Structure 1
Amino acid sequence: MAQARTLKQAEIDQVLRYIATKQRYTARNRAMLLTSFYSGMRVGEIATVRIGDIRNDDGSIKSEVRLSAAQTKGNSGRVVFINEKLRAELASYLRTHKHRHATEPLFFTEKQIGFSPNSLAQWFFWVYKNAGVSGASSHSGRRSFATTISAQGVGIKVLQKLLGHKNIQTTSVYIDASDQMLRNAVELV
């Protein structure tokens, strides 16, 4: 199976512009896409996140999401750290959709039920395709998250923990070494 493509910021912006042109579920679609890019969560994890996983009792967005073993790959729970940008996006999204219960899926379908991992993977495929970004998949956000953080000089052990990998070799596959990263590296000597 081919690796997911790492997307450049211009391509992410292109997809966000496409999402903004859609009149239905714009806030939800933007929040789903940015959850992938800003948290590095797997599509199956995004599909299983519940309101109570991300929202505090006072309505604020948590800075850490504790995924249970059932919500993750490999049946090993993990903590996903939510940055300020994503907390703002999720708060904005939650203001547009009146969620009733902490146990409800964070992201809903047209039938007001949650996405399955497969249906969410298909959603990502079609939104990338319709936005004109070829070769992207549901895993592109996760891979772009890892590459972006790596480009900032964050070590592979930290990336391993952020991505929830048991094996550091798996993490190394996620990181694309761009020409700019290589230029920056040689300037360190």
Structure 2
Amino acid sequence: MALKRQAKVLTTKQVSLVLNYLESGTRHSVRNKAIFLLSVRAGLRAKEIAALRWSMLMNADGELSGEIHLTDSASKGRRGGRVIYMNKELQAAIKELHESIQDLNHDHSVIRTERSPSTSPQVIVNFFQLLYRDLNLVGCSSHSGRRTFITSAARKVSTVGGSLRDVQELAGHASLQTTQRYIDASEDAKRKLVEIL
């Protein structure tokens, strides 16, 4: 069964637009930048962002690691748990968020609201809806960052000796077919491919 109206994949220019907007002094800019990067640079679902705990980002010494150890309970189901490696940009945003919180406990949620020490998936969905509306990014939703991450990973995986199976594991999909449905086709890539055949 194909995904019906899929969320749009963000271009590099649109990702920069969102980051510039979030860094331009918006309220809760540190937290909001982390939310956006968890979606676009780690491919997390809204549910996973809301369920993320500091303990999932810490190593055995209690320090921030370069990995997200997503548990099954934080993910979509029995086999949804996985390890996702963070790029330097996401690591820096997580470190900045970590340093901005005074009463930090490793069992606390990474993303909290003004009135609550945790958040819900719906709050994350609403955040993305308002963000993309404010920036006039039509067709984008809370799943756009995830689709962007998966599409980008799929296009680049062969350059590091990987395969779509690696992308599937990063995405937490049980089926490679599901991962393939997330990948956006590129007209430019198709043109270039035909030229080298």
User: Aligned in 2, Cα 1:84/1:34: closer, same or farther, shift over 3 Å?
Assistant: same
**Is the contact made by 1:54 and 1:61 (CA closer than 8 Å) also made in structure 2?**
yes
Equivalent runs, 1:88-127 vs 2, <5 Å: 88-127=92-131
Q: Are 1:41 and 2:58 counterparts?
A: no
1:168 aligns with 176
> What code does the residue aligned with 1:108 have?
R
> What code does the residue aligned with 1:28 have?
R
How does the TM-score come out when normalised to structure 2? 0.87
> What code does the residue aligned with 1:68 have?
T
User: Aligned in 2, Cα 1:63/1:182: closer, same or farther, shift over 3 Å?
Assistant: same
Equivalent runs, 1:72-151 vs 2, <5 Å: 72-76=75-79, 77-151=81-155
**Structure 1: 5+ residue runs without aligned partners?**
none
> What code does the residue aligned with 1:40 have?
G
1:66 is paired with a residue whose SS is: strand
Q: Deviations over 1:143-189 (max 9, x none)?
A: 00011112224432111111010111100001111123224433554
User: Aligned in 2, Cα 1:178/1:126: closer, same or farther, shift over 3 Å?
Assistant: same
> What code does the residue aligned with 1:144 have?
T
* Number of equivalent positions: 189
Q: Deviations over 1:94-153 (max 9, x none)?
A: 222224210110011111421101111111111111122111100100000011112224
Deviation above 6 Å: which 4+ runs of structure 1? none
1:25 aligns with 28
Q: Deviations over 1:34-62 (max 9, x none)?
A: 11111111111111011111134656422
Deviation (angstroms), 1:85: 2.1
Cα distance in 1, alignment partners of residues 24 and 88 from structure 2: 25
> What code does the residue aligned with 1:113 have?
P
Cα distance in 1, alignment partners of residues 97 and 50 from structure 2: 16
1:55 aligns with 58
1:65 is paired with a residue whose SS is: strand
Cα distance in 1, alignment partners of residues 11 and 76 from structure 2: 26
Q: Are 1:2 and 2:2 counterparts?
A: no
**Is the contact made by 1:60 and 1:91 (CA closer than 8 Å) also made in structure 2?**
no
How does the TM-score come out when normalised to structure 1? 0.91
Q: Which moved more, 1:56-65 or 1:94-103?
A: 56-65
**Is the contact made by 2:53 and 2:109 (CA closer than 8 Å) also made in structure 1?**
yes
2:104 is paired with a residue whose SS is: coil
Deviation (angstroms), 1:64: 2.2
